A = this chain, B = another copy of it.
Amino acid sequence: MFKRILIAEDQETQNISLQTTLADLSIKKPEYVYYCDDALTWIKNSIRAEQPYDLLVTDLSFVEDHNKQRIAGGVELIQAAKKVQPSLKILVFSVENKSAVIDMLFKELHIDGYVRKARHDAQYLKLALTAIYNDKKYLSPDLKLARKENNSHDFTELDIAIISQLVDGTPQKNIPYYLQENNIKPSGLSSIEKRLNLMKEVLGFSKNEQLIAYCKDMGII
């Protein structure tokens, strides 16, 4: 089983229970930090000491406080960690259940496992640890359901730019200027209209307000 594990989790109570859960798997003394910046520092130090970690267990959302951080959240932490130690295995442990986010984690950041903070998370954590130790990917079962039911449109960079501008209060007719300045390709007003129509049609909406609400719910913006 893993010998050196680092836990990045800001909730004190979660941190406590992660340790007891790992103790059940006879993992000796996992190390833990409450801030993302500390996590990266410890990873770097472990490399320097030639005792690199085997596994990083991290949350996604970290609450801000007086202690200003360079690395704000789990996603950025994973990117930074992979850069300094590509071999590091990563298990994400979070309440997040938006399929868009989780797909991105596996496909782009190449994480090794995802356990949702939910009913039987302690059990699933143990399963995840053994799976990952055997070079397998793991996804907690409560999420598999949530991902299937999703027949949604997949949002392009353009889509997200348009929606973000709307949420920022830019009038639709001014969005072309913004897109040109940021070198986002189709920038004509008609293209924006067409794109909005497509999104609304696929999702069965008739008004922008519905689309905004949907994107908020799905964590797209």
Interface residues, chain A, with chain B CB atoms under 8 Å away: 10-14, 16-18, 20-21, 34, 63, 65, 95, 117-123, 125, 142, 166-169, 171, 205-210, 212-213, 216-217, 221
Contact = CB atoms under 8 A, between A and B. Distances in A.
Nearest to A65: B119
Total copies of this chain within the assembly: 2
Q: Would you call the interface of chain A mostly helix, strand, loop, or mixed?
A: helix
Contacts of A205: 169
A106 B17 CA distance: 29
Nearest to A171: B207
A119 B63 contact: yes
A167 B13 contact: no
B142 A65 contact: yes
Contact of A16 (B17, B65, B169, B208): B17
A17 B117 CA distance: 13
